[in-house]
Amino acid sequence: MAKTSPVKKRYAPALRQKAAAIAEILERLYPETPIPLEHQGNYMLLVAVLLSAQCTDVRVNQVTPILFGRADNPHDMVKLDVTEIEQIVRPCGLSPQKSKAIFGLSQILMEKHGGKVPQDWAALEALPGVGHKTASVVMSQGFGVPAFPVDTHIHRLAWRWGLSDGKNVVNTERDLKALFPKKSWNRLHLQIIFYGREHCPARGHYPHKCLICSQFGRKEIFENEKS
């Protein structure tokens, strides 16, 4: 008898049913999915997402009005000194790297893309400070292109809920894309983020009280549950 391939076994009907049930819960709790990072236009979104690396959205939303008050487009951003940008974005952490990236990507947008954020995966990921996750957010939230941005929070939740093996974010993105309909990706990734913040945090988590973990969570997460 032929063995079931690992891929087919990974996405067995039972797992797809679990994914559908989780999606129903998230849709019921979060019928509206506002974009957490405040912005106007794709350039501001790109910069805000870059700043959000290892920083909360709340902090980013406190910093960007100051930064965009000085320069809300690449043409004006390259007129600033990198040190000036760094001083403004310092509260977001990693300010030396982030300020250089913001200045550098603004230069490239002016030189190669007519001052516009390109709707192109390769062009986005070629920009300084822009990795696949950042490009995914811009493509999904900025251009409406189906994408499933996976940050550390979604990576953690996908493992907790048994939707992915948790080895790395690449595997998690692959698994989530395989389990959920493409038309739901953009909405669902925000719903997962909202749910994680409110009901399934990294610390102080009580699986038995979590609507999703209590039904679908891996057994390992209950072993260290706080009393």
Catalytic sites, residue numbers: 133, 151
What distance in Å separates the CA atoms of residue 215 and residue 202, rounded to the nearest whole number? 18
For every residue of 4-27, DSSP letters joined together read: PPHHHHHT-HHHHHHHHHHHHHHH
The C-alpha atoms of residue 222 and residue 122 are separated, in whole angstroms, by 41
Structure tokens at 136: 């995914």
Long-range CB contacts (within 8 A, 24+) of 105-110:
105/46, 105/50, 105/74, 105/129, 105/130, 106/74, 106/77, 106/78, 107/74, 107/78, 109/43, 109/74, 110/74, 110/75, 110/78
- Cβ atoms of 108 and 37 closer than 8 Å: no
Asked if residue 132 lies in contact with residue 49, where contact means CB atoms within 8 angstroms, the answer is no
